[in-house]
Structure 1
Amino acid sequence: MPDSRETSARRSSLKSLALSAVALPVAPLYGVSLAYLAFHPRNRAQHGHPRDFGLPYVDLRIPFTSGKYVHAWLCPGSDERVVIVGHSLGMNKGRSLAHAKFLHDAGYTVCLFDHRNHGSSSDDRSFVGLGDRFASDITAIVSYLRLRRGYGSAGIAVYGFSFSCFSSMWALTHEGFEVDALVCDSGPGHDVPPLLRRFLEAKELPLPALLSGEPSRSVVTSVLGNLGMAMVRAQWPPPAVGKFAQIPLLFMSGERDVIVPPSSVDALAERFPQAETHVLPNAEHLLGLQTDPEAYANVVLDFLKRALG
């Protein structure tokens, strides 16, 4: 005879399965809403400010269309070396202040920005073409700094984190966009659909208990991955030609990253002969600087010194 605990566990499992089956008709709709939420997060609160790190700053509003702008903090340093710093999916530029601090301490001008739909930047309710839209945030910043802020002759690097790594690289497909180096932390990976699935598994995206069991969970996951790719609407991985084959690239991945594992980053980096890769020991997703601040900063600064001078 099974004991009471086994019986209770079996009943709980059957109940969960039954509830998930009942919720199955809702699963595709939730997958659609989750895909939209991933690129249009609700929480827009800033996490920190330059003054918290003793950084000088100027507030910038850089237009990306009529009445819409990307918000940025410009932390002046060298007139000849500039690093444009992004952020991860659903976050904002405040999360990258510790990175801005070690870059500014090394003499670089640093420009931190919020992608559209994030932080203090304007909303863009578009559902498709998001790859080009997020990439154009970066191209607008580079153009603004070169033409309006006196950095026309500066060496410029773009520094992405997870989600913004994809935007940073995809910006290279935009005509007239010129930078001197790319730094990518915790991405990008070779494939996009698994990335969205892993965000869900890591609880970076909300999943109600009613949809967390099978078969509803698989439906939500499938819709999220496939629709997310359709919304981005970008050829990935990009071809290793033109600017993609010329600009110095640094890909850093955490040894314990389960969202964008080193194997996925390495698979992408292998396409580009000029790319450098560095695995951060014991680091999880986006936690390389926190895990070993000195070693992390040394890797980035060594690369930038060689790339920008």
Structure 2
Amino acid sequence: MPESRPTRHTSLSSRTLSLATLPLAPLYGAGLAYLAYHPRRSSERGHPRQYGLPSQELKIPFRPRKYIHAWLCPGATDRVVVLGHSLGLSKVRTLEHAKFLHDAGYTVCLFDHRNHGSSSQDPAWRGLGDRFASDIVKVVSHLRSARGYGAARFAVYGFSFSCFSSIWALTQPGFEVDALVCDSGPGHDVAPLLRNFLDAEHLPLPAPLRGEPARSIVTGVLCAVGPAMARASSDQWPPPALGKFARVPLLCMSGELDPVVPPSSVDAFAERFPQAETHVLPGAGHLLGLRTDPEAYADVVLDFLERAMG
């Protein structure tokens, strides 16, 4: 019996602290939604040369004095893969993916979305889904018009939340690609994924707000404001299986043990699209498919790209 007293005391203290910070919870939830799309800069360091990859540095403007930073790793001139990254990360995290793709003969372009890595800041708080999608469009357009890849086949490769941007880029007028690859996403609904993102501690939550009822309020506001900022509410996402959405070959991979974007959510999304393929990566967590089983992972991606792009 005495052993349970500290637990009860801790629980009571946590609830008291939570109640005291309750007025701040809605503001923090809204701020957290903004932070998700405008994260603190990653301290990760890396470069293509560490993987034996040839590279050219690109700065692709998205408005005056603002640019998308990218590395172009030239390979075949007729097949190009453009690599994104997840929220809060940078193109450094996709260097291992660039390596196996380049080894297979593809030209690879890794880029940082705005507000990430070495790309410029964009303080906007609305229409963010369109803005992140336009980053992809600008990278592909630049490679076609200014880098000699006008006749090449293109695949766009998204990771976690950038899977949503990769799909949403198809809404941009005139934007065409030959294949889409998605790792750890996209999910059928955005709000539950933000909740999972918070629960997995990918977003900061101070101790006073971790207890109830403050945590529920923070989570509720995050899950309402986050999709609204991205223009990804339930009546806008998933997109209808029409036009390019029903035509472009799509591979959706999910980790068997992914707590952020579970396979069930990815499958529910992919079921809407007749040309979509799904693959569950055994024993893999969120964004850990390549590191869990590098050979099997690469085989799945390269087989799909071969069939989709020739």
TM-score, structure 2 as length reference? 0.98
Q: Which residue of 2 aligns with 1:290?
A: 291
Give the drift of 1:44: 3.5
Query: What is the alpha-carbon distance in structure 1 between the residues aligned to residue 55 and residue 278 of structure 2?
Result: 31
Q: Tell me the equivalent position of 1:263.
A: 264
Counterpart in the other structure of 1:39: 37
List gaps (5 residues or longer) in structure 1.
Answer: none
Deviation of the 1:46 alpha carbon: 4.1
State the match for 1:201 in structure 2.
199
1:144-172 per-position Cα deviation (integer Å, ceiling 9, x unaligned): 00000010010000000001100000000
C-alpha distance in 2 between matches for 1:8 and 1:139: 56
For the residue of structure 2 that corresponds to 1:177, the secondary structure is coil
SS in 2 for 1:157: strand
Q: Does 1:179 find its partner at 2:177?
A: yes
Aligned residues: 307
Name 1:5's counterpart in structure 2.
Answer: 3
Amino acid aligned to 1:78: A
Trace 1:1-309 onto structure 2 (pairs within 5 A).
Answer: 3-234=1-232, 235-309=236-310
Percent identical across equivalent pairs?
71
Q: CA deviation at 1:89?
A: 0.8
**Divergent runs of 4+, >6 A:** none
Say which SS state the counterpart of residue 4 (structure 1) adopts.
coil
By how many angstroms is 1:301 displaced? 0.2
> Given that residues 47 and 95 in structure 1 are in contact (C-alpha distance below 8 angstroms), is that contact kept between their aligned partners in structure 2?
no
Compute the displacement of 1:33 (Å). 1.1
> Quick one: which amino acid aligns to residue 240 of structure 1?
A
Using the TM superposition, give the Cα deviation of residue 117 of structure 1 relative to its aligned residue in structure 2, in angstroms. 0.1
Structure 1 residues 62-71 or 76-85, which shifts more? Answer: 62-71
Whole-angstrom CA distance in 2 between matches of 1:78 and 1:33? 44
1:47 and 1:92 in contact (8 A); partners too = no
The CA RMSD measured in Å over matched residues stands at 0.7
Partner amino acid for 1:294? E
The answer for unaligned runs of 5 or more in structure 2 is: none
Give the whole-Å Cα distance in 2 for the aligned partners of 1:57 and 1:178: 25
Distance between the aligned counterparts of 1:284 and 1:237, measured in 2? 23
Quote how far apart the aligned CAs of 1:9 are. Answer: 1.3
